[in-house]
Chain A
Amino acid sequence: MRLRDILTTGFAALFALAGTALAQPAPTSITPDLIAAAKKEGKVVYYTAVDVKVAEQIAKAFEEKYPGIKVQVERSGAERVFQRIGQEYSSKIYNVDTVNSSDAAHFVHWKREGWLAPVVPEDVAKHYAPAYKDPDGMHAAWRITLAPIAYNTKLVTAAEAPKSYADLLDPKWSGKIVKAHPGYSGTILTQTFQVSRDIGWGYFEKLAGQRVMQVQSATDPPNKVVSGERPIMSDGTEYNVLLLKQTGAPIEVVYPAEGTPLVVGPSAVMKNAPNPNAARLFHIWSFTVEAQQKMVDIGALRSAHPGVKEPAGRKPLSEIKLMKDDPAEVDKQSEELKARYTRNFKT
């Protein structure tokens, strides 16, 4: 490390510390005033990358808790949500109140642009580990998603099933793998970053030679596995696999030996939110034990809230070997990763 780099890093750390000390806004709790103000607005627009059926159920729980406030769910892939907000903001269209994305790097970008409002939900201030919240109070990890491997239990036996990313490159899986797209899905962009960092880009070059079926959303590969269209998914969301398994569909998850990509999905309130009070109310509520437990129970997602209990039969996070997330680095490499991916996979 050169002297300049050491100084830069040192200063950055110093500033970050100073920032925490000075700018960390006071935690906000749900007050009758806030509820009344939110009801006056009557609506909150929620841009999210979480599975649409899960998002709508969270919205329904909120609407039941606070009657008179409608949640408008706008679901798309994280990268598409990011593109949409950028496109709308550059035309001075402020539709979005609160946003959840599976690409934590987006929050690095939005924070830099000054688009986020500092709101620290009470639960986040009290219970969340520093790794899961922004020191300036701009965002916090609303959900944690894993991007494992999965297989169709009718078409592949547990013994045959791939155990690692290396196994997926076996010629016997040629034409049998489905995967999602990092240009659409934040989960997959994060996964692509972590896997290429830990085991090298060579994995993707070889995977591209496996005649993979390319879908867009990380929520889709589990569908394709269940329908038998492809017996294996090389990436996709853990929660959709678990949800399908609950309906009796023939699917099983595999946590790869090299480690399972860890996708932190933060939420934030926009500074230009058209319904600022409803946005704050929804945001604060969504981090309560009640909402987080709901997300885990009905959405099969993982929570960063220590008060949430893992349902029986689900492998706890602590028992899974996880890859490390690094949103700042994803923010830097995002364009390059997508370009390389397009070169190798052609779409």
Chain B
Amino acid sequence: MTAETLATGVGQRVRHRLGRLDLSLPVLVATAIFLALLIGLPVAWLIVYALTNRSGAVTFSNFSTLASDPAFTEPLVTTLILCFSVATAAAVVASPIAWLVSRTDLPGRRTIRALMTASFVTPPFLGAIAWEILAAPNSGILNQMWRGLTGSPDPLFDIYTLPGLIFVIACYTSPYVFVLVANALDRIPADLEDAAGILGASRWRTTITVTIPLVVPAILAGALIAFLQAMTLFGSPAILALPAGFHTVTTKIFSLFQYPPKPQLAAAAALPLLVITVMLLVTQARLLGRRGYTVIGGKAGEPRRLALGRLRIPALILVLCVLSLPLTLPYAALLKASVSSFPGAPLAAEFLTWRHVNFVFIEFSQTRTAFWNTLVLALGTATLGTMLALAISYLTARRAIAGSRFLEFLATAPVAIPGIVLGVGLFLSYTRPPLALYGTLWILLLAFLTIELPVAFQQLRSSFHAVHPELEEASRILGAGRLTTLARITAPLLKSGVVAAWCFIFIGVVRELSAAIMLFTANTKVLSVVIYDLNESGDLGAIAVLGTTMLLITFAVVGFANWISGVGSGVRLRGG
């Protein structure tokens, strides 16, 4: 998502006449002001709260309280271990799969790509709940099978541990690495590999010395996203770490809002996450900025696929095994839970029931509200977000006006704000006049818009780079204004990018929990929050039914968006 932000190299080719009425300046100014407020306000309030005490006097005591309290420093250390492990695991597992799919003759390549997308759609908190059913030390289905097979009294795998948490988070962050690396591999031109071949290198040697080094930046970018995800997720640690008796920073921040709420401490606890993220992004920019990787992006020839030979089938089996971890096993577990009369009931006719289905769709009064709110927010955010990202990426990709760099920074900045931190910031900003938005869907819309903007922006900006400015220039020469040109020429050419951005936002909103958990009220509950609530009282059956329905709706909407826009072959996931 960030690799390309930093690798921009488009020169100022387009010179514009300013004679005629041009709306782009007011659009730019309005967008910039909106973005600055959207992002600046919550961050400003966070800083204000972190630096004041309850009576409003300036103080550093919030930080010293936290720094001297092991109840806060321990979660911070745990979080750092978690992030590094998840980033490493995701990169180590997902990169080889990306290579197999993109550069070899692995059977079923397209299907595997689609399945990876499906694991991206799965909300991490739902995956965590499913893995509880699978690998809780005693009742976990896998552990029971293990005991049955070996007679061992010890579990094979205890999910309520730090390694368990690392595993589950890595399951649902590896698609990011996969997508970035696979897309990068797709774009490596064959000429470079051919050159190596002509100089006498074998196919394998070429792969190791030429192909892989070329995608290192993509692997790093993917690992970085995995790191940030692991740091900012709230649901998975709340589900898996609390039963084991440890906190991460996000669950700790959430607990600081328990009565009596301590927003000052929560704000102070949120700032380290912000600082770490900014530092990581800067480091990455430095690291990549020094070397030239310009080859990625050009597309000179069809990439050559390596024949795996006898390794084809073992490779396929390996990939399918890996895919069963985020997909097959958890979904099977959820399906079982949705028809079992009590948790852990054996799969026998006498213990099968429609009770949970009945409960969710007939008795449970929150089902309708939650589905409705989620759908309204996801559709609204996806549409508004795509429009906003489109405007920003046009203004920045074409470098139409001075000041566009600032806009670019603003649109990428939310990457540095973890969901729960943004939630705290928005709560502090919008529970007071003039914009008392807390209690309405608007505050959630603002949260989701902020969180999803960077991804949509990156997606659309890379699409803009692919459309040659000459086409636009032709339109302008023939007398069309900039906005007309945008609507008639650029937009149609960008269609697949636009649909992808829209779907990204839609999926992102449906699976968002960490900001929503800070901002919902009774009438503005969303599905993720309802599922989280049900998990706290252990209502697995209801969760399984709600969760699978939620996934079906997401797939249906994404499929429909692709079908109606004629993009067809499914959204190509691009980290941008």
Contacts and interface: CB of A to CB of B under 8 A. Distances in A.
Contact of B258 (A57, A83, A215): A83
A56 B522 contact: no
A346 to B, nearest CB: 5
B365 A59 contact: yes
* Tier of interface size on chain A: 35 or more
A220 B522 CA distance: 22
A56 B242 contact: no
B138 interface: yes
B533 A226 contact: no
B138 A93 contact: no
Interface in B209-265: 242-247, 255, 257-261
Interface stretch (A47-55, A132-140, A142-150, A319-327): A47-55
Interface in B356-373: 359, 363-366, 369
Contacts of B260: 335
A47 B365 CA distance: 12
A42 to B, nearest CB: 14
Interface stretch (B196-204, B305-313, B536-544): B536-544
B366 A229 contact: no
B570 interface: no
Given A57-B363, A216-B537, A183 B258 contact: yes
Contacts of B117: none
Interface stretch (B35-43, B187-195, B340-348): B340-348
Contacts of B321: none
B522 A45 contact: yes
B59 interface: no
Contact of A52 (B160, B436, B523, B537): B537
B293 to A, nearest CB: 45
Contacts of A96: 522
A60 B257 CA distance: 33
Interface in A72-126: 72-77, 79-80, 82-84, 86-88, 90-93, 95-96
Contacts of A255: none
B58 to A, nearest CB: 23
Given A56-B364, A214-B242, A223-B538, A86 B259 contact: yes
Nearest to A339: B71
B242 A91 contact: no
B439 A91 contact: yes
B245 A220 contact: no
A284 to B, nearest CB: 21
A93 B439 contact: yes
Given A56-B364, A228-B138, A347-B247, A82 B537 contact: no
A230 B71 CA distance: 27
A53 B363 contact: yes
Nearest to B341: A247
Contacts of B342: 223, 226-227, 244, 247-249
A51 B537 contact: yes
Interface string B112-151: 0000000000000000000000001111000000000000
A214 B160 CA distance: 10
Contacts of B71: 342-343, 346
Most buried by B among A56, A91, A184, A212: A91
A57 B362 CA distance: 11
Contacts of A223: 342-343, 538, 540
A71 interface: yes
Contacts of A169: none
A223 B541 CA distance: 11
A93 B245 contact: no
B363 A226 contact: no
B534 interface: yes
Contact of A77 (B244, B359, B536): B536
Contacts of B534: 52
Contacts of B537: 51-52, 75, 77, 216-217, 219-220
Contacts of B539: 52-53
A91 B426 CA distance: 13
A73 B139 contact: no
Contact of A216 (B138, B242, B245): B242
Contact of B138 (A59, A95, A184, A229): A229
Nearest to B138: A229
A59 B257 CA distance: 30
A216 B538 CA distance: 9
Given A96-B522, A217-B536, A226 B439 contact: no
B246 A347 contact: yes
B242 to A, nearest CB: 5
A95 B345 contact: no
A285 B132 CA distance: 40
A345 interface: yes
Nearest to B242: A347
Contacts of A215: 243, 536, 538
Given A84-B521, A91-B436, A248-B342, 16 more contacts: A52-B539, A53-B363, A75-B537, A83-B257, A87-B257, A91-B438, A215-B538, A220-B538, A226-B342, A226-B344, A229-B137, A247-B342, A248-B350, A249-B342, A343-B71, A346-B246
19 contacts: A45-B522, A51-B537, A52-B542, A60-B363, A74-B522, A79-B259, A83-B257, A92-B436, A95-B521, A183-B255, A215-B243, A216-B536, A220-B538, A223-B538, A230-B138, A247-B342, A248-B351, A338-B258, A346-B247
In the complex, the 4 A-B pairs of residues with the closest C-beta atoms, listed nearest first: A227-B344, A220-B538, A227-B343, A217-B537
